[in-house]
Structure 1
Amino acid sequence: MITVKAPGKLYIAGEYAVVESGFPAIIVALDQFVTATISPSDTFGSIVSKQYQENSIFWRRQGDAMVFDNRDNPFHYILAAISLTETYAREAGRELGVYHLSINSELDSADGKKYGLGSSAAVTVATVKALCQFYHLPMTKSQLFKLAAIAHLSVQGNGSLGDIAASVYGGWLAYHSFDRQWLAEQRQTQTLTALLAMPWPDLKVDLLTPPAELRLMIGWTGSPASTSHLVDKVSLVKAKQRGEYQTFLQDSKACLKRMVHGFHTGDLAAIQTELRQNRHLLQVLGDFSHVTIETPILKKMIAIAETAGAAAKTSGAGGGDCGIVLIDQAIDTTQMLHQWAQEGIERLNLNVHTVLDEPVSHV
């Protein structure tokens, strides 16, 4: 039996701009995981998730194809990950097997609350990792990112894939998204083996070391948001508001460059300054695109945190889900947390998850 894990994530800064090729974001991997367990089977296979007990599916082999006994299921990301990884396995000369795959996610609460921690990305990464071990396919982090990114993109169709990077690399990272148009064109002519070996235009992943005094705190608003729908909405206004959108992109890139420099120099005050600036840029984007990035409860969460001496903003696409706080460890946050609780904001007791087993930078 093979068991692997992939962590969830939160965006710290650079949201929306990061969906454009080469534009950066800072993301952090968290110590809540999706666990994938895989074991061989002689007859039929199964895909089971504790989160979707009533939708477990069974399948068998017909040649290299997976034939399902029930097609209507919520496992699109898992199935895309299986399809891509098995294509790669066949290219590597592996014979396809039958197996039971079990998925268990800690990224949503036991009663089904969605926190916005990137569960679809972590599910995709965990599935790819498990199958690569099952088929004895050696895989660097760079290759794992690329294979999982192709699988995730085939389902979601948009987004930066930064959440995939966080699940693969762990820790704090600066991520520049790759050119998805280039990838779409290459997929028409290249094998997966060739694609995974190529440098991808604009892709860059660098791990960051936070200042020792930096403390990350996460507040959950109680209302989930759909990242893909919000990104779609912003995409619709790109052409109409071209000048304002281009200004937003360049300002976001400059802000993130200064913020990354703050990490490299261990300057918490500089990081906090740029977090506030990134919040301002997202507010401007929300205004001209008519997308509600900061909901009223997120505004309250941020205001309470700022009063306590922290820098705070929405995380990810906004519209609900989580807000993040960067604060000096020395500051007492008791009053802040009390005020959050009064407003119905739940502090998520999560920590940064760091992967220590591989080199820190891949392109």
Structure 2
Amino acid sequence: MITEKAPGKLYIAGEYAVLEQDCPALLVAVNQFVRVSISKSKTGTGLIHSKQYSQDSIHWIRQGSRMVIDNRDNPFEYILSAISFTERYCLEQNIKMNVYDLHVNSDLDSADGKKYGLGSSAAITVATVKAILRFYGVKLNNELVYKLSAISHYSVQGNGSAGDIAASVYGGWLAYQTFDKKWLKNELAHKSLSKVVKEAWPGLKIELLTPPEGMKLMIGWSQKPASTSRLVDETNAKKMDAPAEYKKFLQASRECVLKMVQGFEENNIDLIKQQIRVNRAILQHFAHVNHIAIEIPRLTKLINIAEKYGSAAKTSGAGNGDCGIVITDKSSDVDALENEWRKNGILPLNFHVHNIILSH
């Protein structure tokens, strides 16, 4: 049996703007994982099973090299998309297809099944791609896994930046800029998958960062799950209503994230904290103009409490629920901060940054 895992992620800064070309975001991988195990089927019928959706296992068979599934209604779309594109890639390398069982288990939800907002669909996609490549004996590298995962994920979600995919593949702290979606769509329509994966993708930038000495990331969970794809759809629909305003937002977000990256490069926690506050203000204005709820009252409370203890905080990701992130240094009283969070219905999550050993 082969088991592969991929970590969840949190956005630190640059949300919403990251959907556009040339607008960087900062993300971090956290030590909560999706694990995918794959083993050759003993029966000729394959099984896809998730501990989280145990009532809905999928059974499938091969017809030639095609995978044929015998139940339509399933919550496994990201897994199936990852299988489909990764197998297509393997077929192009003249690898003979096999029948296997795939088991998925995730830490990315709370015990009662609520989502923390750690990018579980991205982590599931990445872990599945890695497991299948390993199963078929294909040599793995981060770029191959990222590109196959990004294509698989995007083909299901239809929006997003694939920043969460990058965090799940590369781990640690990273600065990320998305690729040109129109270009990718056109390439996939006219070229083999192997060719597209080997090409340089216009606009794509992934840079690993080293955090300053003494900087600590804290995560607070609002206990209210949010739907990223729905929020992204809403803002995509509205961004053409005020193009000048939108352009200003992108410019401000870009400058803020680049300054934050500078903070990493210069080992300057104060600069990072200052830009976290700037990014919060930029997102608040963006939410106000677009009439969307990014910073719900519970998240505002989370941020205000963190600020009271000398830390810098903001929403993480699409907002409207999920998590808030806090940057602290040695001067912050972390215990007092967490106690006050708990009194206000905010759950401190004891997760840490997960670094992955690089492969080229």
Which residue of structure 2 aligns with residue 23 of structure 1? 23
Distance 1:330 1:38 in 2: 47
Q: Distance in 2 between matches of 1:144 and 1:67?
A: 24
Structure 2 residue 232 is the aligned partner of structure 1 residue 228: no
Q: Which residue of 2 aligns with 1:186?
A: 187
Which blocks of at least 5 consecutive residues in structure 2 are unaligned?
Answer: none
For the pair 1:268 / 2:263, whether they are aligned, the reply is no
1:357 Cα deviation from its structure 2 partner: 3.4
Taking the aligned partners of 2:180 and 2:340, their CA distance within structure 1 comes to: 43
Q: CA deviation at 1:29?
A: 0.2
The residue type equivalent to 2:300 in the other structure is: K
Contact 1:275–1:311 (CA<8 Å) still a contact in 2? yes
What is the CA distance between 1:334 and its match in structure 2? 1.9
Does the CA-based 8 Å contact 1:219-1:301 persist in structure 2?
Answer: yes
Contact 2:88/2:193, CA 8 A, preserved across alignment: yes
- Return the letter of the residue paired with 1:182: W
Question: CA-to-partner distance for each residue in 1:56-109, whole Å, 9 max, x for gaps?
Answer: 111111111111221211000000000000000100000110000000000002
Whichever residue aligns with residue 326 of structure 1, its letter is: I
Pair 1:161-2:162 in alignment:
yes
Deviations 1:245-304 (A, max 9, x none): 000001110111111000001000000001100000000100100010000010010000
Paired residue for 1:9?
9
In structure 2, give the amino acid aligned to 1:320.
G
Aligned to 2:178: 177
Choose 193-202 or 67-76, whichever is displaced more. 67-76
The alpha carbon displacement at 1:139 in A equals: 2.6
SS in 1 for 2:279: helix
CA contact (8 A) 1:22 1:179 kept: no
Q: Please name the residue that 1:38 is paired with.
A: 38
- Greater mean deviation of Cα atoms: 203-212 or 136-145: 136-145
Q: Secondary structure at the match of 1:230?
A: helix
Q: Which amino acid aligns with 1:10?
A: L
Contact 1:213/1:330, CA 8 A, preserved across alignment: no
- 1:73 — aligned with what? 74
State how far apart, in whole Å, the 2-side matches of 1:197 and 1:59 are: 31
Equivalent residues of 1:283, 1:294 under 8 A apart: yes
Partners of 2:280 and 2:315 within 8 A in 1: yes
TM-score (norm 1): 0.98
- Provide, for residues 177-204 of structure 1, a one-character-per-residue CA deviation record: whole Å limited to 9, x for no partner: 1111110111110111001100000000
Where do residues 208-247 of structure 1 align in structure 2 (5 Å cutoff)?
208-247=209-248
Question: Is the Cα–Cα contact under 8 Å of residues 21 and 180 in structure 1 kept in the other structure?
Answer: no
Q: Which residue of structure 1 aligns with residue 337 of structure 2?
A: 336
| 2:86 corresponding residue in structure 1 | 85
Query: Which whole-Å CA distance do the structure 1 matches of 2:359 and 2:57 have between them?
Result: 34
Paired amino acid for 1:184: K
Between 132-141 and 281-290, the greater mean CA deviation after superposition: 132-141
Give the whole-Å Cα distance in 2 for the aligned partners of 1:308 and 1:332.
Answer: 6
Secondary structure of the 1:70 match is coil
Amino acid at match of 1:31: N
- The reply on whether 1:132 has 2:136 as its aligned counterpart is no
SS of residue paired to 1:167 = helix
Q: What residue number does 2:323 align with? A: 322
Does the CA contact (< 8 Å) of 1:208 and 1:263 recur in 2? yes
Deviating beyond 2 angstroms after TM superposition, the runs of 4 or more aligned structure 1 residues are none
Q: CA deviation at 1:212?
A: 1.2
Q: Distance in 2 between matches of 1:107 and 1:128?
A: 18
Q: Deviations over 1:98-122 (max 9, x none)?
A: 0000000000022101100000000
Which residue type is aligned with residue 174 of structure 2?
L
Distance 1:110 1:328 in 2: 30
Contact 2:222–2:322, Cα closer than 8 Å, also in 1:
yes
Alpha-carbon contact 2:212-2:268 (below 8 Å) kept: yes
Q: CA deviation at 1:330?
A: 4.0
Alpha-carbon distance in structure 1 between the residues aligned to 2:68 and 2:189 = 25
1:146 corresponding residue in structure 2: 147
**1:53 maps to amino acid:** S
Q: Which amino acid aligns with 1:272?
A: K
**Alpha-carbon distance between aligned partners in 2 of 1:55 and 1:29, rounded to the nearest angstrom:** 29
The whole-number CA distance in structure 1 between the counterparts of 2:35 and 2:330 is 31
* Cα distance in 2 between the residues matched to 1:4 and 1:110: 22
Q: 1:339-358 alignment to 2 at 5 Å?
A: 339-358=340-359
Q: What is the root-mean-square deviation of aligned Cα atoms in Å?
A: 0.8
Identity %: 54
Alpha-carbon distance in structure 1 between the residues aligned to 2:330 and 2:117: 25
CA deviations 1:138-174 (Å, max 9, x no partner) are 2321111010000000000000000000000000000
What CA distance in whole angstroms lies between the structure 2 residues aligned with 1:45 and 1:330?
55
Give the conservation status (yes or no) of the 8 Å contact 2:170–2:358.
no
Contact 1:293 1:314 in 2 (8 A): yes
